[in-house]
Amino acid sequence: MRALLVDPLAPCGLRLGEVADPEPGPGQVLVQVHHASLNPGELGMLAHLPAGHVGGYDAAGVVVRPASDGTGPAAGTRVLAFGSGAWAELLAVGVADVAPLPGAAALAEAAALPMAGMTALRTLRAAGSLLGRRVLITGATGAVGRYAVQLAFRSGAHVVASVRDGTHEAALTALGAHEVVVGLAGLRQVGEPFDVALETVGGPHLVAAWSLLAPGATLHSIGWASGEPAVFPAGSTFFPGQARTLSSFGDAAAVGADLGLLAALLASGALSAQVGWRGSWERAEEAAQVVRERKVTGKVVIDITGAHTDGPEANPVRG
């Protein structure tokens, strides 16, 4: 099969090449991948992977061989999948990490959901009921942030989105943000404390978010886009009263049920996939550059040439 392979000598660290078809185990299905997405963390890991490795985790396609143990979806089922080796024509993935796609859900949009959507969903769920609670989402223009804004709003939270600049205020308000604060200065000036915070920027933003927690609140650190260290002032981790919590979050085990929920929300129109760029994997270098340089807002989706894609590739979308 053809696949995007790690190549340290290639301009983007990836090249199209050929590798042996994957052989699924008893509890795995074989999926013909139609679309996949690129995530910043995946590109950041390329330098640590061996040459010839097939990258990627987010995929949408059609089951061409069901699991030999009789579990999981049947052949011909359109599915959303999360598994290592997604940037390829074929993907062997465990039945616990796939979900059938409703007919109304486009495969290209579904491919944008797994990693970022599952991260937002599981982190918010860990916070318990959000009804009437104040939720802070930093880095809200990123993929996780945009999904988190939508999901928190649907759960009845008062959503405050923190962004680098004000150009995205209207878009985030349309997704469900009740307030949009700009820059670190704007975040530090927020008056009322938060019950839940999803922090994706790290560095000073993590410190500022911690200082804004209400008694008993939880801060989930799920990203570090800034690359800056977080320096907490002396004594800043002590609060009288009910304990505040700083938690890491990265549970990516057995995500099939959550992928099914995200797919259902996408199909019903209750969740926007937020695809910002889509094109053939022949344009992998361009796609990687778009991700690394944040040239568009939203997910980057590649069409796997040779598969039946959902219509023509879209032009890059900014905003």
- Percentage of the chain with pLDDT > 90? 88
- Mapped onto helix, strand or coil, the DSSP state of residue 98 is strand
Tell me what the mean pLDDT of segment 212-231 comes to.
Answer: 95
How is domain 2-112+273-303 classified at the CATH fold level? Quinone Oxidoreductase; Chain A, domain 1 (3.90.180)
Task: Sketch the domain layout of the chain as residue ranges.
Answer: 2-112+273-303, 116-248
Largest alpha-carbon pair distance within the chain? 61
The answer for residues whose C-beta is within 8 angstroms of residue 69's C-beta and 6 or more apart is 26, 27
What span, in angstroms and rounded, lies between the C-alpha atoms of 210 and 200?
Answer: 13
* pTM exceeds 0.75: yes
Residue 191: pLDDT band (50, 70, 90) is confident
Continuous H helices in the chain: 40-44, 107-110, 114-126, 143-154, 169-175, 183-188, 204-211, 256-268, 284-292
Please write the tens of the pLDDT for every residue from 288-314: 999 999 888 899 999 997 655 565 554
What span, in angstroms and rounded, lies between the C-alpha atoms of 92 and 103?
Answer: 23
- Mapped onto helix, strand or coil, the DSSP state of residue 97 is helix
- Mapped onto helix, strand or coil, the DSSP state of residue 18 is strand
Please write the tens of the pLDDT for every residue from 44-99: 999 999 999 999 999 999 999 999 999 999 999 999 999 999 999 999 999 999 99
For the segment(s) 116-248, the CATH number from 3.40.50.10310, 3.40.50.720, 3.30.70.1350, 3.30.559.10 is 3.40.50.720
User: pLDDT at position 316, please?
Assistant: 47
